[in-house]
Chain A
Amino acid sequence: MSFGKLFPRRDFIVKILCIAAGMLAGGLTRPFFRTIQAQNRTDGSTIAVITGKSLSRDSITSMVESGFRQIGGIDRFIKKGMKVVIKPNIAWNSTPDKAHNTNPDLVEAVARMCVRRGASVTIFDRTVNSARLTYRRSGILQAAQNAGASIEYVDSGRYKDVRVPDGVYVDSLPVYSGILDADFVINMPIAKHHSSSRLTLAMKNLMGVIGGNRGYYHGDIHSSIVDFAKTVKSDLVILDAIRILTAHGPNGGTPADVKELHTIVMGTNPVTVDAFAATLFNIQPASLRFLKIAAREGMGEINIDKMKILRAAV
């Protein structure tokens, strides 16, 4: 039997072309499918609010485990071999007690669960302070090492311009390719006071994967925040309210400004999670302009009464 009989040339070329076309079509439509999947996974207006007892690592780990149970189990979200990106707030060269960055024990617990599920986990943020010092002092570097996740330092050359669907303030934004290439994005903000947007929560946290001129976005911070959330998809939001910073945010504050709530909020829609988080600061969600715009744009539920809130204490 000759090689030619087994693979007749014309047939072979046709097969190759078909396979290539299939791969191309699959590749092109993948983001589309992914969007649909992400939206169908859970009802966006459902959130889990878990309260723990202390700041201890054990307490935080059980909070995360309980949270995943409430929203249907980690298996619903994380599949084996997935490329998962965790995007905490790691902007400031500060220790965890200052409540400037996302709690490292929380990040570690989430990362570890994803790694155990067989996913490869990468953690990064565009820092404001010096990146290496910030990753270390925030405790995130150690957390990633403990969990078996990898960290990445944001490379200023790796932004891609992405169209903002029905942009409120801008038509396109430079988005970090690390987040565009991910199969699953876990948005992990810390809840804190912010002078220009009043609060910085999950939607604002996405600014850390947006390139370009920070000052330009500050020109209309609320509309910009809405555009960030429209452009970058958070497949899952885990909001850190273990310690919250109630004044002099996002990177100042005396010990009196830090409040211990031992709480995390989980959900699939950053708008809904943010609306609930506002109440932790005794702020009406509708009084935050970025939430009002998001609600007007139909991006998520901001009315607390219309949310399905699954509470648990561990």
Chain B
Amino acid sequence: MKHRRWFYIRAAVQVCCWFAFITLVVSTRDPIEDGYLYGLFPRLSLHLGIATSIAARAVLAAFLPGLAVLALSLAFGRFFCSTVCPLGATIDASDKIIARRKGALKPEIARAGRGIKYIVLVVSLILALAGVQAAGIIDPLSLSLRVYSTVVYPFFDHLAKLAFDGLLPIPGLGAAVGPLYGFLTDTVLDFNPIVFHNAGAVMLLLILILLLSLWARRFWCRYLCPLGALLALAGGFGMLRRTVDALKCVNCLRCERDCRMGAIHDRGLATIHGECVQCFECLKSCEHDAISFHAVSPFASGRADATAAESSSITAVPERPAISRRALIAGTAASLALIPGFRLNAARRADFSEIIRPPGSLPEHEFLDACIRCGACMKACPTNALHPSFLESGLEGVYTPRLIPRIGWCEKNCVLCTEVCPTGAIKKLRMGDKETTVIGTAYFLKDLCIPWAEGRECVVCEEVCPTLTKSIKFREETVPNKKGGSVRVKLPYVLEDICIGCGICENKCPVRGSAAIRVRTRKAEVPSAG
């Protein structure tokens, strides 16, 4: 009880980190001068760093902050999980809402289950070795950035606008909240109504993770998180450790019951260091001031402090987590089953693809390896053109960004997505590069196109085409119109060599439903079988 302030200080740091994360998510939009900061959180994940470096066959210096986290873990244990991790904060926050069944997990299962996260880590890395980027799908940092960018933010953005739409027309009240609305639209609300295709599929993973808390607090962090596994390995040697004064301890088991990680055992006396996330909740729980956190040699025993330990019985429990032989074998077996699952992708075999990638994206194969599916590009896009794919490009393309021109086009003189990409899956472009960066090619569906099909004037596509000499041209011809007469109209066609596939023509096409001009990927960028 005496040291409970450490619990509140830690909680305050966690809230601050969460707000920093949210601030970065919200401000991932125009104007952006230097995009480094917006990808900071995913860069903190060494799991992403290692897996992506392996998958992309290149050491990615972008993930240096992850190494710093690892170094700090050697001093402070698995502090990252209870302070910095936004997914951890989300799980902690939802903990009050999601009721847990007491003792739902048998202690033996709870103990053995901790090994699963090492299997997940092994699977993630072996898949990376096989050229499958699965790390981005399950890593807590790319997962939270993706969920907050494409689901949580649009949800609250929409809710706020709905509230203001209701409040603003009310006489008197409208004038009062008007300035607030103006302030919010300038700062946090999105400029346009923002909506993401496949948002439900993105949310699904988070819902599953939160529901797991029904069986144990921080179920995900204890049993599944691959980054947690990595930090547990380092944190096992962490020097800041929980120690119990056995003379003061009355074995009330409060700390053991309250521990969110299930890291305390042996009647409150012992700690599994790699599992302890330094949340200091036990300091708050203990009414006898028996618990303290000290710098201890990384090779010291995991049990209560030395003088007291002699008087209590010693039980054989794993003190440090480790990748067991079983985890390695299970992980390898699981990977062997998963690799074909990811790689047997129809899109790899097909000689065409419907998926348009952001401007500056690496060739499709390399892109799939380097993209960590964090959604930063989608949040940054000012026209809401980039959306998470689901199974459109197979399991290996899950949550990768795709451009859907009917929803938004690739804005000329805009390189925001290339600025914020944390891994370089989208190469940085300069403003001038955009004019020649080809992401696709437009084609007409003449059965839908107004001048071709109905003999009426249109050529909106030509008007909005941003290429210098216009990649949409037209020839004037006399064609039959719908009234049985004939009429002279401009019939548009595409100059494929000039078209950059930005998709503004498809977006602005006045035909109802699907557009009469559409963008497809270029042949050269289509993944070949392999």
Contact = CB atoms under 8 A, between A and B. Distances in A.
B463 A133 contact: no
B437 to A, nearest CB: 15
A45 interface: no
Interface stretch (B81-89, B399-407, B454-462): B454-462
Contacts of A92: 466
Contact of A132 (B165, B191, B464, B468): B191
Interface string A121-149: 00000001111110011000000000000
B411 A194 contact: no
Interface string A69-83: 000000000000000
Contacts of A132: 30, 191, 382
Interface string B203-235: 000000000000000000000000000000000
B188 to A, nearest CB: 14
Contacts of A214: 460, 508, 510
A93 B30 CA distance: 13
Contact of B510 (A93, A94, A213, A221): A213
B510 A133 contact: no
B460 A248 contact: no
Contacts of B511: 215
B508 A252 contact: no
Nearest to A93: B413
Interface in B498-526: 504, 508-511
Contact of A130 (B382, B450, B457, B458): B382
A252 B460 CA distance: 14
Interface string B386-424: 000000000000000000000000011110000000000
A196 B456 CA distance: 12
B307 interface: no
Contacts of A26: none
B467 interface: yes
A177 interface: no
A218 B469 contact: no
B121 interface: no
Nearest to A194: B463
Given A93-B414, A216-B510, A252-B466, A196 B191 contact: no
A133 B413 contact: yes
Contacts of B414: 93, 130, 133
Nearest to A222: B457
B468 A215 contact: no
Interface in A163-220: 194-196, 213-216, 218-220
A219 B459 CA distance: 9
Contacts of A220: 457
B10 interface: no
Contacts of A133: 30, 382, 411, 413-414
A213 B412 CA distance: 22
Given A131-B191, A132-B191, A253 B413 contact: no
Nearest to B383: A130
A251 B409 CA distance: 16
A89 B504 CA distance: 19
Contact of B458 (A153, A215, A248): A215
Nearest to A156: B193
B56 to A, nearest CB: 31
A248 B468 CA distance: 7
B412 A254 contact: no
Interface in B174-221: 191
Given A132-B382, A133-B30, A133-B414, A196 B466 contact: no
Given A136-B31, A251-B464, A129 B412 contact: yes
B490 interface: yes
Contacts of A94: 412-413
Interface string A248-265: 101111100000000000
Contacts of A194: 463
Contact of A195 (B191, B459, B509): B459
A134 to B, nearest CB: 9
B69 interface: no
A131 to B, nearest CB: 7
A218 B510 contact: yes
B510 A129 contact: no
Contact of B469 (A129, A130, A250, A254): A254
Contacts of A213: 510
B411 A129 contact: yes
B269 interface: no
Contacts of A157: 165
B411 A130 contact: yes
Contacts of A251: 463-466
A298 B229 CA distance: 80
A192 B316 CA distance: 84
Contacts of B490: 195-196
B470 interface: yes
Contacts of B504: 129
Contact of B467 (A131, A196, A252): A252
A214 B466 CA distance: 17
A256 B322 CA distance: 69
Contacts of B383: 130
Given A214-B510, A218-B510, A252 B382 contact: no
Nearest to A130: B382
Contact of A196 (B411, B412, B459): B459
A248 B467 CA distance: 9
A128 B457 contact: no
B457 A153 contact: no
A219 B458 contact: yes
A252 B510 contact: no
Interface in B132-182: 165
Contacts of B464: 128, 251
Contacts of B412: 93-94, 129
A137 B413 contact: yes
Query: A129, A220, A250, A253 — which one has the most chain B CB atoms within 10 A of its CB?
Result: A129
A195 B413 contact: no
Given A131-B191, A196-B463, A215-B510, A252 B468 contact: yes
Contacts of A137: 413
B460 to A, nearest CB: 5
B458 A93 contact: no
Contacts of B31: 136
A218 B457 contact: yes
12 contacts: A128-B508, A129-B412, A133-B30, A195-B459, A195-B463, A195-B490, A215-B450, A218-B463, A219-B456, A251-B463, A252-B467, A253-B469
Given A132-B191, A153-B191, 18 more contacts: A92-B466, A93-B414, A94-B413, A128-B508, A129-B411, A130-B191, A130-B382, A130-B414, A133-B414, A136-B31, A196-B457, A196-B462, A214-B460, A218-B463, A219-B450, A221-B457, A251-B464, A252-B469
Q: Which 8 A-B pairs have the closest CB atoms?
A: A215-B510, A130-B382, A130-B411, A93-B413, A252-B470, A215-B460, A254-B468, A219-B456
Interface of A: 92-94, 128-133, 136-137, 153, 157, 194-196, 213-216, 218-221, 248, 250-254
